[in-house]
Chain A
Amino acid sequence: MLKVQGLTKTYATADGVFRALKGIDFEVPQGGFHTLLGPSGCGKSTTLRCVAGLEEPDDGTISIAGEVVTDRARDVHVPTFCRDIGLVFQSYAIWPHMDVFANVAYPLQVHRPRIAAAEIRQRAMEALHLVGMEEFATRPATKLSGGQQQRVAFARALVRQPKLLLLDEPLSNLDAKLREQMRFELQELVARTRVTTLYVTHDQAEALAMSDTVAVMVAGEIVQNGAPRAVYDRPRNALVAKFLGSANFLRGKLLESCSSAGIATVALEDGASTIRAAVPAGLSAGTMVDVIFRPEDATTRFDTVDGAIECSVERVVFQGGMSEYQLRLGSSLLRTVVHPSAGAQRGDRAWITVEPLRCIVFAPAA
């Protein structure tokens, strides 16, 4: 449904040349929900704006529903108002001089060929009903709260039943509780209308919760692309691992050679411990590697366990439903999560074990 290939964009700034996009490729199937996830400045919004037609890339092609809308090489650029899209802005961009109904009816009113007024009215009210705002139809746009403006923005984006829904960090202007609620509503909306969606955010919780596929973007490139679980469980490098969820890092020396991917032993830097971890193919014994595991994958016990890594408790942080333990191992500080009933204190010894398959090894980049 949406196909992006080789998207490149460069800006000339006062300090030189800034490469915002360095060749972006991804595809979103019909009805799919694809998220571009990354920190500020990684190029995700620029990519979305190129798909919307608000910006022109320096190179690459974009096609929506089989129609090529941007092809730099062949000088094709279909303007925004000719693309069958719905776009929700971070600032909502609700027109202040119109009321709620007029905002939502607008895409139908400017449609050519013309749509009959009765049909416009019916479809606009349906869209308002979809977002639960039909009672606010005559409210002036300046008298809406943030959450209400956002719902109106959704209704406006969906009213003409576009082929592609584009969302540019729509939840980042809301406070935490409202954000959760709106995230849920958005998911419901998308599921009900089954519209193909491209979502941009820097919030990894949103990305993991809502998407069919996630593309992690850093500095203008897609670093990893896949289903949320896949990207979370098998990050391709330390950058992705750190960005999605929290991660513990340990350095060590690989003790066995691995011609094919499998489980091997790594001697950790502190000298005393070893850990068995999932290792990619082609690493030889003696290589210095990074070992990564997630806090929730570590089991923490407070009496000796064979084969476990011994550390000392440095800090216990009570967080209500669970306690986060910060454990010292040599020069590293590890984090694990434990049920709050475990009554360990600072200075106690702790033993952690991790399922080898949940431990990932990366050969560190040069």
Chain B
Amino acid sequence: MAVQAADVLAPPRATARRRQGGSLGWTGRLVLGAAALAAVYLVVTPLLSLLITAFRGPGDLLPMEKGSRWTLANLVEVYLNPSLFTDVVPNTAIFVLGSVAITFLVAFTLAWLIERTDLPWRAVIFTVVLFPLLVPGIVVAFAWTLLFAPNAGWVNVAMRTVAGLEGPGPINIFSMGGLILCQGIASVPFVFLLLGAAMRAMNPALEEASSASGARPLTTFFRVTLPILRPGILAPLILAILVALEQFEMPLMIGFPARINVFSTRLYFDLNPEDELPAYGKAAAVALLFLAAAVVLLFIYNHMIRRAERFVTVTGKGYRPTRYALGRWRIPALCFVGLYLAVAAILPTIVLVWTSFSTETGFGLDTYRTLFANPHFWPAVRNTFVVAGASASVITVIGALLAWQIFRLRFPGRGLLDVVSFLSIGIPAVIVGFAVMVMHLSLPVGLYGTIWILILAYSYRLAVSTRLSRAALIQIHPELEEASYASGGQWLDTARRVVLPLLAPSLMASFLLLFIVGFREFTIPMVLQSDDNWVLSVIMWKLQIATQTGQAAAVGTLILVFVVPVIFLLRRRLLSRQDET
């Protein structure tokens, strides 16, 4: 079953429901109630604890610690401090808007070339464009520093040799420009998927009607194609801004050395300062602003998606949209695609592999031997898979149960549950990590510092699974379940023998998607790190910071080696298959 990116990101929608409360029985009520509670625990309580922390002081105490009390001092200190508004806010704004602009330009062009033109090798290009989706952002960021660092970056060295220049440069990645470019390119695959889906969903007859009315191709593009695509473009635009706002890897790897602070890095360093105690209260106060912006964007996004649904038209016969012939634009188009793929996927892969195999004595496996002997490495490998797998399972199960309740039942608070699940898209990862940290440091439950806390924190992404399950449930007519009740089956029988098998493909897709997301996660394990719960992305960062470049590159290479076959395996299953005509 092909999963559309759009399925995951659609907002709550009113559809016809059937009353099924009577058939639930005690098992049903128990299971569903537990799922609802879990959802609330995973999403709402961390946010509440964040809110409370902001209003409890003094700043370096935990909200529930002895000696803390209600205060506005945190907010005063943070919001009256000009540095927030002269440094962090403008930097974040420039960073977000600049990178989104670049992402959109590149992603739209790529999506157009692949969906609407006769570009050669479309299928291969499609796969390679999506390749960075599975790779942790920090790995790509690291590879880019190896390529574009002013002194020793490969590209700079090459350019200097060719042009006979001296000194550092000419390209300095550690700058606002470098940061924007890197983030822009890193976000392309995800936006590319969404824009491609919008283009594919367009009724081709609308353009054909324009042509049959006498309009030239360029006129058709501006007067029909673009206006109709507009809602399908604006919604991903808002989402891209939301995602850029929460980005952490690029600002950490590239922005920080350049002394550029954005929200996410500012929060991180407030929580992990080098020589002070973490300032929980102040960090929470900063986080509030961040969170408010994210929620506003989320509601705008919601509105955009509803508008987009108005323009969906019934297609008559399932013809595909016409593909425009590129003609003499074929070479420039291929150059553009080639340049993008080189920078986004090919060069980073080469530099990582090369660096991992270079040792003092030429090429060899020494770096790998050292890495494998590192006492942190194998536990990190295990942790990565365990946390990704466990959180994916948790979210899939809870999300499916949640979706079933929201979609099939009527009960007070149902709308709220739907909102809770949808909200989880909009919460920046660094805030999730922070909120979970504060909550569990305050609770007597001893989860802090273990991988369990990572599993808990990763599990806030309920929206993904809820949306996918909902899309699948729409296809399963309620009468199928009613037939089970009419045959004497109880809720558990119906769930196990009717709903579950029918939902299975969607559950599989949800699990895989969430596993990938968990696999590449960096922000949350960084915020919640302790000696016992390192994962692969964190270990790579630690090695790189300790200037063990070779070993860091080796970790990156190993991740790539795992990811490449997976993406080929998943391409058919998970990603919207683009047709090969």
Contact = CB atoms under 8 A, between A and B. Distances in A.
Contact of A45 (B206, B209, B317): B317
A86 B212 CA distance: 6
Given A96-B228, A96-B310, A110-B219, A91 B315 contact: yes
Given A96-B310, A96-B311, A97-B311, A81 B214 contact: yes
B212 A142 contact: no
Contacts of B211: 53-54, 79-81
B214 A93 contact: no
Interface string A143-163: 000000000000011001000
Contacts of B210: 95, 106, 110
A93 B205 contact: yes
A5 interface: no
B93 to A, nearest CB: 31
A111 interface: yes
A106 B209 CA distance: 10
A160 B209 contact: no
Interface in A95-120: 95-97, 106-107, 110-111
A91 B214 contact: no
A168 B205 CA distance: 11
A160 B214 contact: yes
Contacts of A45: 317
Contacts of A54: 208, 211-212, 322
A96 B230 CA distance: 12
Contact of B208 (A80, A157, A169): A80
Nearest to B322: A54
Contact of A90 (B206, B212, B224, B317): B317
Interface string B298-316: 0000000000001101111
A169 to B, nearest CB: 8
A93 B206 contact: yes
A91 B207 CA distance: 13
B228 A97 contact: yes
B215 interface: yes
A329 interface: no
A97 B227 contact: yes
Contacts of A83: 212
A31 B220 CA distance: 30
B203 interface: yes
B475 interface: no
A279 interface: no
Nearest to B206: A93
A153 B301 CA distance: 33
A85 interface: yes
Interface in A58-81: 79-81
A362 B316 CA distance: 38
A110 B212 contact: no
Nearest to A169: B316
B325 to A, nearest CB: 11
B572 interface: no
Given A81-B215, A156-B213, A160-B214, A91 B208 contact: no
Contacts of B206: 93, 95
Nearest to B212: A87
A261 to B, nearest CB: 42
Contacts of B314: 91, 173
A79 B219 CA distance: 14
Interface residues of A, number: 31
Contacts of B382: none
Contact of A110 (B213, B313, B317): B213
B214 A111 contact: yes
Contacts of B209: 87, 89, 93, 95, 156
A52 B210 CA distance: 12
B19 interface: no
Contacts of B228: 95-97
A93 B310 contact: no
Q: Give the interface size bracket for B toward A.
A: 20 to 34
A245 B208 CA distance: 34
A80 B217 CA distance: 10
Nearest to B205: A93
B311 A107 contact: no
Contacts of B316: 89-91, 168-169, 173
Contacts, number: 87
B223 interface: yes
B13 interface: no
A253 B269 CA distance: 99
B369 interface: no
Interface string A208-222: 000000000000000
Interface in B189-248: 203, 205-206, 208-217, 219-220, 223-224, 227-228, 230
Q: Which interface residue of B214, B313, B316, B322 has the most chain A CB atoms within 10 A?
A: B214
Contacts of A96: 228, 310-311, 313
A106 B215 CA distance: 9
Q: Which interface residue of A89, A107, A156 has the most chain B CB atoms within 10 A?
A: A89
A100 to B, nearest CB: 14
Contacts of A82: 214
Contacts of A79: 211
Given A96-B310, A97-B227, A81 B208 contact: no
Nearest to A12: B581
Contacts of B212: 52, 54, 80-81, 83, 85-87, 157, 166
Contacts of B223: 106, 110
Given A89-B205, A95-B224, A110 B315 contact: no
Q: Which interface residue of B203, B209, B216, B230 has the most chain A CB atoms within 10 A?
A: B209
Contacts of A106: 210, 213, 215, 223
Contacts of A111: 214
A96 B313 CA distance: 8
B209 to A, nearest CB: 4
A93 B208 contact: yes
Contacts of B214: 81-82, 107, 110-111, 160
B208 A89 contact: yes
A156 B314 CA distance: 19
Contacts of A95: 206, 209-210, 224, 227-228
Contacts of A81: 211-217, 220
Contacts of A80: 208, 211-212
A324 to B, nearest CB: 34
Given A54-B211, A80-B208, A80-B211, A93 B216 contact: no
Contacts of A86: 212
B579 to A, nearest CB: 11
Interface in A293-347: none
Nearest to A160: B214
Contacts of B219: 110
A83 B311 CA distance: 29
A235 B230 CA distance: 52
Contact of B203 (A91, A142, A160, A173): A91
Nearest to B229: A97
A52 B209 CA distance: 10
A62 to B, nearest CB: 15
B215 A87 contact: no
A54 B228 CA distance: 20
A322 B319 CA distance: 43
Nearest to B231: A97
A166 B316 CA distance: 16
A37 B176 CA distance: 65
Contacts of A107: 213-215
Given A90-B316, A142-B310, 20 more contacts: A54-B212, A81-B211, A81-B220, A83-B212, A87-B208, A89-B205, A89-B208, A91-B316, A93-B203, A93-B209, A95-B209, A95-B210, A95-B227, A96-B310, A107-B215, A110-B210, A110-B219, A156-B213, A157-B212, A173-B316
6 contacts: A97-B227, A97-B230, A97-B311, A106-B213, A107-B214, A110-B213
Please provide the 9 A-B residue pairs with the shortest distance between their CB atoms, ordered closest to farther: A91-B316, A90-B316, A107-B213, A87-B212, A93-B205, A110-B215, A93-B209, A80-B211, A97-B227
